[in-house]
A = this chain, B = another copy of it.
Amino acid sequence: MKLTVKLVDIGTREVMLNIVDARNIGVLTSDRVQILNETRGVSVAAFVDTTATLLPQGSIGIYRITNERLGVNDGDIVEVRKAERPASLQYIKKKMDGEKLSNEETYAIIKDVVSDDLSPAELTAYITASYIHALDMDEVEHLTRAMVDTGEQIKFHTHPIVDKHSIGGVPGNKISLIVVPIIAASGLKIPKTSSRAITGAGGTADLMEVLAPVEFSATEVQQMTMKVGGAIVWGGATNIAPADDKIIIQEYPFRIDARGQMLASVMAKKFAVGADLVVIDIPVGAHAKVATVQEGRKLAREFIELGDRLNMRVECALTYGDSPVGRAIGANLEVREALRVLEGAEVPGSLIQKSVSIAGMALEMSGKAPRDMGNKAALQLIRNGEALKKFRQIIEIQGGDPNVKSDDIVPGEYEFVVKAPATGYVIELNNRSLISLARTAGAPHDRGAGLLLHAKKGSRVQAGEPIFTIYADRSWRLQKAIEEGRSLMPVVVEGMLLDRVPHESKWE
């Protein structure tokens, strides 16, 4: 059917049809139509919304994402027909039936994911099926390669290229801001792509953005890395392994992170930036993503095996994941804390130790430090100011102010100090509650929002002593966080009353 184009500024891969035209074409809401732009010889499939009044018969509303591929103008005539069902739906069905998918089948699915040719529901079926019928290592390798091949890739002509990744779940894990400068300062190259927070209080990209722009193309990342040895950018802007973000968005409602997809997601990004040596940080703890050391070791072996299949040398660090890393949670607070460490601060010990351990592994793997001397070499690069100097070069090449100092970065103007209700030991810091509180205070969107912990797990506090401060950029956000803090109780002091239950029984 020939229809006249009306462009509609809605950000989805859909089109709008008058309900009568839809019936004549033989489609319902959510079905697919194929739209042919004969002038440009481009044909695009899109999902159907229907209307009785917004569009007259004979017209088609083309939404923004649909038109990014179709490239038509208001008033153009397009040919519209019922679309064929993509072959990848059969492969998803096959996975639902518990069968193993071939390399080609996995590629077909991921290609359709990247080109938005699968609806969110269809992609969710694939994710659910892969979550239940866990991918084996062949399938994980296929998925990783498909994610790499359907996106941009960076090729370096020098080697080795280093990369690192933390699998997340621990608040305050700002170590990349210290690890990347150390590694680059040693003379190695590390093109670090990172994520923004989805469920956390701030991803590395959110933190780095306090200091400099983080949105660059893959080519720019390569060029910056060649010039100063490193970069810390938002992966979402690069078109590296773009399938991954689309998968993560659909996993979000269920808070799942299927093992096979997680392995592929991490390693595809490392492979696509041309990494030869990769250090993976696996936080372990009751409130982290990985609950036990056994589970952590198993995951580590899987990362290593997948690395071998892709010709990347992988080492993993199981790290303590039951408490925040350092004392700061939230963009500005974390950046200030990391800068202070690079400027020579002796605390917090947990942050410094973890950063030099991870950086040290990379130095040893590359031969920049002898075996068991990586930590020391990494610490030396902080102490002698080289890491700070390198970080400033990275900030500068990304377009930030290279003269920034930790004191320039300030937390939100609204604050509330939470005091110990009793004297005793801090026996619990709940990661999830701390993250939730920081988000309620405005993180990651409000950069000044977050938490600063004064007491850490195992430390002794006196009644009335501050245990943490909540910061916010907006007063109402602070109020909401204070209220939420009362019910979540993210920090528990031994001996403190959790609740008081009044006596309601009667005298007999």
Q: Are B249 and A30 in contact (CB under 8 A)?
A: yes
Contacts A132-B132, A445-B26 given; does A255 touch B93 at CB 8 Å? yes
Determine the residue in chain B with the shortest Cβ distance to A129.
B128
**Are B11 and A49 touching (Cβ within 8 A)?**
yes
Per-residue contact bits, chain A 472-495, to B (CB 8 Å; 1 contact, 0 not)? 000000000000000000000000
- With a cutoff of 8 Å between Cβ atoms, the chain B residues found around residue A50 in the complex are 10-11
Is A239's beta carbon under 8 Å from chain B?
no
Q: Does A120 contact B (CB under 8 A)?
A: yes
Is A256 positioned at the interface, with any CB of B under 8 Å from its CB? yes
Are A10 and B121 within 8 A (Cβ)? no
State which of B10, B96, B256 has its C-beta within 8 Å of the C-beta of A254: B96
- What number of copies of this chain does the assembly contain? 2
- Asked whether A85 lies within 8 Å of B253 as measured between CB atoms, the reply is yes
Task: Give the Cβ gap from A89 to chain B, nearest Cβ, in Å.
Answer: 5
User: Does chain B have a CB within 8 A of A309?
Assistant: no
A490 to chain B, nearest CB (A): 20
Q: Is the interface on chain A under 10, 10 to 19, 20 to 34, or 35 or more residues?
A: 35 or more
Residue numbers in B under 8 Å from A131 (CB-CB) = 96
Which B-chain residue is minimally distant from A255 (CB atoms)?
Answer: B93
| Contact between A9 and B51, CB atoms less than 8 A apart | yes
Within 8 A of B (CB), among A43-75: 49-54
Residue from A10, A26, A131 having most chain B Cβ neighbours under 10 A: A10
A50-B11, A128-B128 given as contacts; is B254 within 8 A of A89 (CB)?
yes
Interface membership of A418, Cβ < 8 A: no
A128 to B132, CA, bound (A): 9
Q: A125 on the interface (CB 8 Å rule)?
A: yes
Give the shortest distance, in Å, between A312 (CB) and chain B (any CB).
31
Closest to A54 in B: B9
Instruction: Tell me the minimal C-beta distance from A478 to chain B in angstroms.
Output: 16
Whole-angstrom distance between the alpha carbons of A249 and B28 in the complex? 10
Complex interface bits, A219-260 against B, C-beta within 8 A gives 1, otherwise 0: 000000000000000000000000000000110011110000
